[in-house]
Every structure is written in C-alpha cells, then in structure tokens.
Structure 1
Amino acid sequence: MKIAFFSDIHANLHAFKAMLEDLDSQRPDTAYCLGDLVGYHIYPNEVIEEIRRRGIATLKGNHDEKVESITTTPESLIGKGSNYAYHLISEGNRKYLKELPTLINLAFTFGKVTFKIALAHGSTRRINEYILIDTDENYVLELLDEADADILIVGHSHKPYHRIMETTRGVFKHVINLGSVGKPKDGDLRGCYALLTIDNNSSLLLRNSINVEFRRVNYDLEASVKAIEASPLPAEFAEALRLGR
C-alpha cells in the first residue's frame, strides 16, 4: 500500500498545485493532510476548497486553530499585517477548519502484522510541539507508546526526516516529519511531501523494510513570491520563500 502524506501548505497555491500534480502521477492508494492549510499567503480559500473537493482526510494545524480567534469584517482586510492572511478565509472555510480533528489513528494489516500509525500536526500531546530529528529518543518513544503506534507522522517544523528507533524489545519504531508543501525551512526551495509504502514484505522487526520517499517538487516560486509582495502581507513572508527558511 502506498500512502501520501503532506503538511504545511500555508496557502501557497502555486506550490500546492504542483505538489498535487506530482502526487497524482504517483497514484497513491490514499492521502492525508496534517494541517496548516492557511497562514503566510493569500490563497487560503483555494487551498481549503481543493482539499475539500478531493475529500482528503485532514488534521488541524496550529495556524488553522489560530483562525478561530480572529474575526473578519470588510474593514479588517486593510492594514492587518501578518493577520491579513487569516482575514481572507470565508465563513464556510472557517467552519471547516474549526471542525478538523487534532489526531488521526490508522491501522493497516498485512498477513499477521498490523502497522499502527498516529498522525499529528505537532505532536500527539500538543498541536504546536516540535518533534525534530534530534528530539530525545526516549521522549519520542514515550509518545509512540502513549499513542499505541508503531509509526508517528508529524509536520509543523517544515524540516523533513525519517527516523528509525529500536526499542528494548527489538522492535523498530518510525517517526516521519513531512516537511512543508508551501513553506520549506530546510534550505531547499522545493515543496515537499512523503510517500509511505507498507506491504507484505514490511516488518516491525526489520530496520529498513518500511519505505519512505520524500518527494521534492519544483513550482513557480517567483509567481508565488510576487503574489505576496502585491498584498498587504509583510515582505519577509516573500523573502522566507526565496531563502527556504
């Protein structure tokens, strides 16, 4: 089974469209979005509506959650700086974001082996917690035990990695950070998402039997940057895209 996971679009429609085109070419069996559809860019409604049109199961990210505390009126669209991005969101899409879950648990069985997967935007404890490649291993294993999961998939940091940890029982646990579709922070300007493949050849007892492929996707960066620069959003949002940070 091939499963696509992506996160942190941040209303960057140019990057999102390019990612979806690549995703469609890979023909995954299913796809999940781990949140932060909005913030930092001017196309939140277009991104949300495409997610909804495709029926992609989606988590709430910390920027999606932030929308709940920001109201909008026509007057509020002027001179709002970084909050301008949240005022653009339609009432229907605000309602959609508010109703998104914060955790998703999956289970896939092949033969006698069941792979339990926990999805969270930041972590299974907090929506805005960073689980980095060097986060204390014992702490990460504790999170996996709490979630009763073999694989933990997160976003939020915008820095992709696949980390494999061996428990005292000789079982391998996996943590996958998806990076970011629309606002990468690892110095690579391309959007990022991940494909996870598990099948009858996969095992929790073999280190490398679960395949994770990070797909990096080029998009029209300059058009995306110019759209920010032509809006009331801060200029540093455009600069961050140019620098991949």
Structure 2
Amino acid sequence: MRIALFSDIHANLPALDSFFEDLGSRNVDALYCLGDLVGYNTWPNEVVAEIRKRGIPSIAGNHDLKVKKLKQDAHLKEVDYAYHIGSDDAREYLRSLPKTIRVHFSFGDERISLLLVHGSSRSIDEYLLQDLDETYVREMLEEAGADLLFCGHTHKPYHRLIACGGKYKHVVNIGSVGKPKDGDPRGCYVIATLNEESTLADKDAVKIEFIRFDYDVEAAARAIEASPLPREFADRLRKAY
C-alpha cells in the first residue's frame, strides 16, 4: 500500500496543479490532505474545488478554520483578504472538515495505527518541530495511540523515529505543497509504503519518501503582487521562508 499525503496548499493553484501532475506518475493507492487549503494566495475557491472534485479525504488546518471567524467586511485588512474571497460553498466545505483521520493496518498479529493531524494530536495550532523534546513526543504518541503520526503546519519536512518499549514509532512532517519554509521553493509531499513486511520492531520497515516537485513559483508570486495581499507573501514563496 502506497499512501500519498500532502498539506498546506494555501490557495496556491499553480503548485496544486503541478502536485497532481507529479503524483500521476507515482502509482499511489490512497491520498490524504492534511489541511490548510486556503490563506496567503488568491485561489481558495479553485483549490477547494480541485480537492472536492477528486474526493480527497482532508482534515482542517488552522487557516481553514479562520473562515468560521470572519464575516464579509468592506474594510478588510490586507492579511484577511485571502479568507474573504472564498465562496459560501467553499466556506461551508471547510467548516465541515474533521480535525483528524485515523487509519489502521493489520499485518499478522501486529496492528499499526496511522494518525493524520494538521498541527499535532493535541492541537491544530501546535508546531511539532524536529527537535522537540523526545519525552514529550513519546508521551503524545502514546496518549494518541499513534504508531505513525503524520502532520503539517510547520512547512518543514522531516522523518523522526521515537523508541517506545522496544518498538519504533514514526513522526513525519510532510512539508508544504504551496508554501515551503525550508529554503527550497519546490513543493513537497510524502509517500508512505506499508506492506506485509512492515513492523514497528524494525526502524527501516516502514518506508517514508519525500517528493519535491517544481511549479511556476513566479505565477503564484505575481498573483499575490496583483492582489491586496501583502507583497511579503510573494517574497516568501520565492525564497521559501
């Protein structure tokens, strides 16, 4: 089973289109989105439409939840513009998204639980940074009953192993499709491979592959510059910070 996971599109339609094009050559069996479809760019309706058209299971990101708090206002702050241009239909979809998705695999007597979150299992806004205290991360995994925890939110990809009672649990930040922050402007997503040989007893038995893909960064940056959004958002796309 090859599972693709992506996140943090942030209304960047050129990046999403290139992601789907790249994914088409990867022969995956399942696909999940870990939220933040909107914010920071000018195509929220188009992005939501593409996710819905393909029937992709998705969870809510912290930016998706902002549509619950904002109302139409003639005196918009620049930073709020990205949330107000969404259609009523797109807003309703975002309001309906779940906070987590859990998937279980059973291989012989071993059961492996995958938990998909945006920030962390404790909070949609929590940043699970790569150097977070190991004891804290282990307690969180045990509390959530998660063997593989996939998250986004930080826009910085990594794969971290956590030893838990003779087994290895995995924390995977899948990076960002539409707004990377790791100095590489290319979009990023993950393919996880599980099969009958996958076991938590072997740290190498679950394969995690990070995929980077090119997209038209300039088209996305120019769309920002032509909108009421802060021009700094365009610079962040070009330099990936």
If the length of structure 1 is used for normalisation, what is the TM-score? Answer: 0.96
Mapping 1:94-105, distance limit 5 Å = 94-105=91-102
Partner of 1:39: 39
Instruction: Please tell me the residue identity of whatever aligns with 2:56.
Output: I
Matched, 1:233 2:232: no
SS of alignment partner, residue 141 of structure 1: helix
Matched, 1:244 2:240: yes
Instruction: Please tell me the residue identity of whatever aligns with 2:221.
Output: V
Shift of residue 149 of structure 1? Answer: 1.1
Partner of 1:10: 10
Instruction: Please tell me the residue identity of whatever aligns with 1:111.
Output: G
Matched, 1:160 2:165: no
Structure 2: distance between partners of 1:171 and 1:111: 16
Structure 2 unaligned segments of length 5 or more: list them.
none
What is the percent sequence identity of the aligned residues?
53
Matched, 1:58 2:55: no
Shift of residue 48 of structure 1? Answer: 0.4
Shift of residue 232 of structure 1? Answer: 0.8
Give the alignment's Cα RMSD to 1 decimal: 1.0
Alpha-carbon deviations, 1:127-146, whole Å to 9, x = none? 00000111111111111111
Partner of 1:137: 134
Q: Which runs of structure 1 show a deviation greater than 6 angstroms over 4 or more consecutive aligned residues?
A: none
Of 204, 207, 210, 1:211 maps to 207
Q: Which of 19-28 and 84-93 deviates more?
A: 19-28
SS of alignment partner, residue 206 of structure 1: coil
Instruction: Please tell me the residue identity of whatever aligns with 1:85.
Output: A
Instruction: Please tell me the residue identity of whatever aligns with 2:3.
Output: I
Shift of residue 114 of structure 1? Answer: 1.7
Q: Which of 18-27 and 30-39 deviates more?
A: 18-27
Instruction: Please tell me the residue identity of whatever aligns with 1:128.
Output: D
SS of alignment partner, residue 82 of structure 1: helix
Of 198, 205, 210, 2:194 maps to 198
Matched, 1:68 2:64: no
Shift of residue 112 of structure 1? Answer: 2.7
Alignment length (residue pairs): 241
